[in-house]
């Protein structure tokens, strides 16, 4: 079965490649990310920011509704994702929306596995309001 849009629980080779490629593309801003999109019509990213990099580069850690809202960080994210999308030919890799999560993933909430990997499905379930905000374009969301 072919999937056009991915979710972080998708363990297909394409999902894994996209996840790793996006992490590389978003370095040093991101330490990890969750890919969403199933049933939403476009691929979205919920990014775990490198808070130390933000502080070292004069970016604020201000947040609203669980989402980081630093204009400078969002501009850097928009620039990187615009470049990514310009280089991608297929819709299955184009990013439509993205945001930085204000709260790091929580081990005690099941958002991080015992191996230290993100549990994307759990993050999207626990943070359903933030996932909705991602696709509704609320404060702190980069829409491309």
Question: For residue range 98-128, what is the model confidence (pLDDT) as tens digits?
Answer: 999 999 999 999 999 989 999 999 999 999 9
Buried b (16+ CB within 10 A) or exposed e, 82-101: eebeeeeeeebbbbbbbbbb
Residue 6 has pLDDT above 80, yes or no: no
Mean pLDDT of 13-35: 92
Tell which wins on pLDDT, 35 or 10. Answer: 35
Task: Count CA atoms closer than 13 A to 49's CA, side-chain side.
Answer: 28
Question: 31: helix, coil or strand?
Answer: strand
pLDDT, residue 54, reads: 97
pLDDT, residue 13, reads: 65
Nearby residues of 68 by Cβ (< 8 Å), 6 or more positions away: 49, 54, 61, 62, 99, 100, 101, 102, 140
Residue 7 has pLDDT above 60, yes or no: no
Q: What is the mean pLDDT of the chain?
A: 90
Mean pLDDT of 58-84: 97
């Amino acid at each position: 079965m072919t999937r056009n849009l991915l979710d972080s629980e998708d363990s297909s080779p394409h999902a894994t490649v996209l996840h790793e490629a996006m992490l590389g593309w978003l370095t040093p801003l991101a330490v990890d990310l969750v890919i969403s999109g199933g049933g939403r019509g476009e691929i979205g990213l919920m990014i775990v920011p490198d808070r130390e990099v933000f502080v070292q580069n004069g970016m604020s850690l201000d947040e609203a509704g669980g989402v980081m809202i630093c204009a400078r960080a969002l501009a850097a994210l928009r620039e990187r994702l615009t470049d990514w999308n310009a280089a991608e030919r297929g819709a299955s890799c184009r990013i439509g929306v993205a945001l930085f999560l204000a709260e790091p993933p929580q081990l005690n909430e099941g958002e991080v596995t015992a191996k230290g990997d993100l549990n994307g499905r759990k993050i999207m379930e626990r943070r359903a309001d933030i996932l909705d905000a991602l696709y509704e374009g609320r404060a702190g969301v980069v829409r491309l």
